[in-house]
A and B are shown apart, each in its own frame.
Chain A
Amino acid sequence: MTGSALLRVSGVSKHFGGFTALAEVSLEIAPGERFGLIGPNGSGKTTLINCISGSLRNDGGSIVFDGEEISALPAYQRTRRGIARSFQVPRPFSSMPVVENLVVPLEYVVHRGSLHKADTRAEAMELLHGIGLADKAETPSSRLTQVELRKLELARAMAARPRLLISDEAMAGLSSSEIDEILKILFKLNESGITIIMIEHIMHAVMRFSQRVVCLDAGRIICEGTPAETVANPDVQRAYLGA
C-alpha cells in the first residue's frame, strides 16, 4: 500500500507538558477506505485527528496527505487540500442559520477567488437535502436537536468537498435509529469516493462500517486489523472492551 496511501502518518508524537498523548503513532490510509479508530477515553484518538486536521501541531513525526507533508500547515490550509472533520462536541456557527453554516466552507474552500460566479446558497441547500436537513435551513443553528447538530457537523464538513472526512464520534448519545441514519449517510459519502476515518465508541457501528480498525491505548497503537480480528485481540479486550 506504501505508494498509494492517501494519508500517511509516521512516528507522530504529541506531548502536553509531561504527558505523552501520542507516542510514535504510524498508520496509512488508502484512498476510498473506511477506517475505524477505537480506544478507551484518553487514549489519544482525538489528539491524533487534531494533529491530522491541524487543530494541534504534532511534536514529532510526519503527516503526508496525498504525497505532501502537511504537518507544518495551518488547519485552514489542510481543509483546502481536502481534509475535513466533524467535532465530537458539535461546534455549529450558532449565530447563523443552518444553511449559512455550509456557506462558510463553500466560500472559503470551494469557490475561493471566484465567489461572484457561484451560487453558494443553492449549493448549500443541495447538501442539506442530501443529509435531510433541508427543512431546517433557515433555523438558527443554536436551536437544533442533538442528531440535527451531528448532521450539520457532517454537512458542513462535506461542504468543503473533502477527499478525506474525519468523523469524530458523530453518533455518541444518539438512539439506534439515529445511528442507522448517520451510518447510512457515511456509507453514501464513501460510495461517492470519499475516504472516511471514523472515531467511535459505539462498537456495532464501527464493526459494520469499517474495513480496517486500529485500536489506540495510552497513545500507542495496540492492534490493527479487520473489525473481527480487532475484537478478538486480547490486548484490545483488556484495554478497551473490558474483558
Chain B
Amino acid sequence: MRKSGTPFWIGAAVVVGAAALAAWLITNEYYFFAGYIVVTFVILATAWNILGGYAGYVNFGTAAFFGLGAYTSVVLIQSIGAPLAVQILAAALLSGLLGFGAGLLTLRLRGIFFAIATVALIVIMETLFINWRYVGGATGIQLLRPSPIPPFESYTKMLFVGQVIMAVVAVAVARYMETSWIGRGLRAIRDSEEAAECSGVPTLKLKLAACTVSGALMGAAGAPMPMYLSFVEPASTFNLTYSIGALASAMVGGTATWLGPVLGALLLSTIQQIVTVTISNEMNVLVVGVLLVVFVVAAPEGIVGLLRKLRRAK
C-alpha cells in the first residue's frame, strides 16, 4: 500500500542541492535572510500538521515550542558555547519533552478546550523566560555570531542551507508518519476518536507520539533563531504570529498530506516577506488573515485539494 519513496528522495536531494548552489552563486545576502524565514515556516507548518492536520488536534502553541528551541540555544551558547548542531539537537529533545508533557496534560481535552490549553502554554513559557536573568530576561540578550564553517563564507547562508536540510528532514518524518500505519491511526482519531479506540487504536499513545514529534520539530526550527538574529527577547520569540503562521500555512496548503503545509508555507511566507519589504510590516499580518479566510471558505481542502480537483476535472 506504500507508494515508492524514490521520487520523494530525488526531490529532496534536488531541493538541498539547489539551496547549496544558490548559496554559492547568489551574492545578495538579503535573499537568504528572507528565505530563512520562509523555510522556517515550512518546518513549523509541517510540524503543526502532524498533530493538527492528521489527528485534528488544533494546536495554537507553536510559538511555545519554537521559543523553547530558541532559548535552549541561548542557554547552550551562554554556558558552554555549544556549536549549532548541538543547539538544534538539544532544542529538539527539550521541545519534544515539552510536547510529551503538555500532551499528557492536555490531550484528554477535545476540540476547543485543547486549543485553549495550548495558548496557555505560550503564556507560561514566555513568563518563564521573561523572569530568567541568565538568558536576558525581558530586555533580551545580544549574541555574537561565530565565524561560519567552511565552505560557507557567510553565516546567514550557512543557516539558510542548514534550515533547508532541517525542512527536508521534517517533511520526511511527516511523510513517514502520514503514509504508515501511524498516519492511518491518526486519521481514524480525527474522524472518530471513539470508533478508532474500538478498532484497536491506542488513541492516547498515538496522540502523545504525534505531539512529541511535532513539538520536537518546532523546537528544532527555533534553535538557529538566536544566531540568525544575533539577538533574542521573549516577546517576539514567543509570539503568536508563529502559531498563526504555522496553522494558516497548513490550512491554506491543505492538511491531508505532507505537501500541503510545504506549499502553504512557501506561498504565505513568501508573500509576507514581499509585502513586508514593499508595503509595510503591518500589512503582512493582514495577508495571512485574508488568505486564511478565503481558503477556509472557498477551498477547505487547501491548495492540494484544489490541484486534485483540477486534475480530476481534466
Contact B187 A105 (CB under 8 A): no
Q: Is the interface on chain B under 10, 10 to 19, 20 to 34, or 35 or more residues?
A: 20 to 34
Contact A74 B199 (CB under 8 A): no
Is the C-beta of B196 less than 8 angstroms from some C-beta in chain A? yes
* Residues of chain B with a CB closer than 8 A to A80's CB: 200
Name the interface residues of B190-204: CB closer than 8 Å to any CB of A: 190-192, 194-204
Distance between A77 CB and nearest chain B CB, rounded to angstroms:
8
Is the C-beta of B175 less than 8 angstroms from some C-beta in chain A? no
The residue of chain B having its C-beta at the shortest distance from the C-beta of A112 within the complex is B200
* Residues of chain B with a CB closer than 8 A to A55's CB: 194, 197-198
Is the C-beta of B290 less than 8 angstroms from some C-beta in chain A? no
Contact B194 A108 (CB under 8 A): no
Find A76's partner among B187, B192, B202, B256 (CB 8 Å cutoff).
B202
Contact A76 B191 (CB under 8 A): no
Contact B188 A93 (CB under 8 A): yes
Distance between B164 CB and nearest chain A CB, rounded to angstroms:
31
Contact A107 B198 (CB under 8 A): no
Is the C-beta of A240 less than 8 angstroms from some C-beta in chain B? no
How far apart are the CA atoms of A96 and B192 in the complex, in Å? 12
* Residues of chain B with a CB closer than 8 A to A108's CB: 181, 185, 199-202
How far apart are the CA atoms of A93 and B201 in the complex, in Å? 12
Contact A96 B198 (CB under 8 A): no
Contact A100 B184 (CB under 8 A): yes
A83-91, A178-186, A230-238: which lies at the B interface? A83-91
Contact A104 B185 (CB under 8 A): yes
Is the C-beta of A143 less than 8 angstroms from some C-beta in chain B? no
* Residues of chain B with a CB closer than 8 A to A159's CB: 199
* Residues of chain B with a CB closer than 8 A to A104's CB: 184-185, 188, 196, 199-201
* Residues of chain A with a CB closer than 8 A to B203's CB: 76
Name the interface residues of A45-84: CB closer than 8 Å to any CB of B: 53-55, 74-76, 79-80, 84
The residue of chain B having its C-beta at the shortest distance from the C-beta of A53 within the complex is B198
Distance between B4 CB and nearest chain A CB, rounded to angstroms:
16
* Residues of chain B with a CB closer than 8 A to A227's CB: none
The residue of chain A having its C-beta at the shortest distance from the C-beta of B189 within the complex is A93
The residue of chain A having its C-beta at the shortest distance from the C-beta of B193 within the complex is A91
How far apart are the CA atoms of A157 and B256 in the complex, in Å? 25
Is the C-beta of A210 less than 8 angstroms from some C-beta in chain B? no
How far apart are the CA atoms of A95 and B188 in the complex, in Å? 8
Assuming A79-B199, A79-B200, A107-B181, is B192 touching A93 (CB within 8 A)?
A: yes
Is the C-beta of B144 less than 8 angstroms from some C-beta in chain A? no
Is the C-beta of A129 less than 8 angstroms from some C-beta in chain B? no
How far apart are the CA atoms of A103 and B1 in the complex, in Å? 11
Distance between B209 CB and nearest chain A CB, rounded to angstroms:
14
Contact with A along B286-314 (1 / 0, CB 8 A): 00000000000000000000000000000
Contact B199 A96 (CB under 8 A): no
How far apart are the CA atoms of A43 and B21 in the complex, in Å? 71
Find A115's partner among B181, B190, B198, B256 (CB 8 Å cutoff).
B181
Q: A103-B184, A108-B199, A112-B200 are in contact. List 16 more A-B contacts (CB 8 A).
A: A54-B198, A75-B194, A76-B197, A80-B200, A91-B195, A92-B195, A93-B192, A93-B196, A95-B190, A95-B191, A96-B188, A96-B191, A107-B185, A115-B181, A121-B1, A156-B199
A–B Cβ pairs within 8 angstroms, 6 of them: A87-B198, A92-B191, A96-B188, A108-B200, A112-B200, A115-B181
- Could you tell me which B residues sit within 8 Å of A by CB distance? 1, 181, 184-185, 187-188, 190-192, 194-204, 256
